[in-house]
Structure 1
């Protein structure tokens, strides 16, 4: 039995709102939304939960979106914040797995720092990167989940504050205060560095 590959939809040049607006007569058009955003959603979930859960949670995100397409507010042209909101809700159901991932990354940082073999330059670069990743993971684990959610949607989901507010269905002021708290805590844990600075901050 061969593997059935999904039909690839080409980008139609239409807004997400226009595509989702056609869903009642053309449900297959949702494939375009999937093609546009699956890589971004999968990447975000993978960074939050790891590769093992990313495939399932990303697929669940699009299944939930397909099942709830009538809830999409067509006043917005882009489905990106809506999809990240669904993904964030699903990630929240895996908070224990996320916390375990951060602890494992922090431990891996300590273990790797003790086991050094091989060419010095290559190992030094790898250790520096892993040390930063380990400290970042440990710092992220210490941030309150609602604040961390906002921080990671901005940093890893590449959403603006307004898009995060739309995704999480909270006021923009709440997003800004959560983001400020999370960044303050993260910078303190990382000695003043903010690896989450975005274009919006510049």
Structure 2
């Protein structure tokens, strides 16, 4: 069986050899693109193959495998897509991210890992402290606004909010930052 590298090299002389690379790698490349830009993965995959075919003569075996090279082409196509979208200021179809979503994935995984501990700690907080914390973290209210919602003075709210944050930080330990949004400084 001919290797990907051999096919890529041969495709510079015999363009039809490139077709087998498409067959071998389309599913993996489509998966890569679909996880990052689900609404346009098919179009991006077509662009990947166009660019890979056009640039097949630039492939250098010393820089890695053909598969690695193809994923590099896919990454460049995806980055160009995100740049175009941001420059155009267009709304993205299907909830597509405007930049690399992997940072958000890491944050969601970190949050999911500590979610049971957070729920347990929140359940142990006095009701007013829990409500203040959630109003500030989830609803993005200021401590003064949260104080007004629960009907206590702003100074009292800040004190209780500080106590709640401290208990939550202690429960999570020093190695785990708070994965919640809002004013947790």
What is the TM-score of this pair, normalised by structure 1?
A: 0.44
Larger radius of gyration: 2
